[in-house]
Structure 1
């Protein structure tokens, strides 16, 4: 039988450790603070931000939230980011995406100081990741690596196929895996023969936003499958992999829900704590 990787349990262990660290000693005598910025009234974004804020409070961190109307201008959002960047009690800043039409996310994200970029999405953070320098890493890719570590999967020398090349998951994940000594192949929408890329892999991570893309024809017996996708269907939440069809073929697989999803928030909290500790040590990532 295929083993289901219990991402929710692994995430709880991480958040418990973070909360214990916060309770034991607030870094530098200050409680870590995480600021969330929500622009507009997108229902899904509202749910995601509410979940993040709840996790922040449960971890004993300071919850700082700004909700701007959908009519907010680029300059107004930038002003909020700049104010939070200057606030010494805020150690992490998260701008919830997507933004309303008319706003340009890239220049706004790049206003977040690299020292407070807990989402790991700024150009500076991406450069530090590519060069292997110290910095805050994107939450979902970091969560994937944490899942693999928790399962005792040796990445050094492993053949890993990353399906999807988004700036949020696929590309940074490939970098993280390379730094761990894995042999990484990235497949994307222009890959001519997907199975030829995924079938030899020891680990397949799929993050495409295409429901049910990965099936038995793509996976060698015993391989580990990490499914980052999530889709609402009449039958419930489903992923980018056809999980039921992979039962008995894959050695391990992340369920949807309860797999990668909880890890994203767990790593957000871990990043905020890390940013606060670096700040307290006066060894923060250079701006």
Structure 2
């Protein structure tokens, strides 16, 4: 009688086994959803961002145990180029390479242009745009040398359209899309793709907090804030889920996406279809 050896699905079906990924701003929200999807597909991952050390360690160790991959945490400040470069080098030393880069770190400030604080403008451009340049700059040569790489920039619907009072954010996200196109062109003959995911409003703890703040500021109910403020221009009238962004990022990083490069992919409930 022939015996059949059963193997774990984790070891046989994961599309990113043997790859190493860095996801910036990945201790919560969209970034954490992306990190988890990449780990679920077998990639060793580097988590980056701020937060409570105990909570971060619980996430890190939980991902390792759940998906049988290596998970590192690096608290590099994404506004500091020298820390970004050191993070990329540390990932290489610890995990052997850097195959996948997902730029997700970002901050926001909302205020009319004439009152917009200069320090907020500088901080938003540093973290939302310049940080992506610095990570790509530190990673691209290695990807080219190995003949394979995936760069995914989490941009925004605001990489494609504008909104009042978000001058720095809109400028930065438009810049991220331009940077994505240049990286795609430079990597095209070396097996390296670069794409931008452009979410609309995504249900995260940050958005939940924003709803509460706007309800208090406008003295209206939370449902009214969602309907008349946040999702006013979203035809589906629904938030995207962080897991949807993670799943799309994982596909773009996988083996069946080699012809997709230089694109902006909205996940916005039809907002930019207007």
Normalised by the size of structure 1, how large is the TM-score?
0.40
* Larger helix proportion of the pair: 2
Relative contact order: is structure 1 or structure 2 higher (C-alpha 8 Å, sep ≥ 6)?
Answer: 1
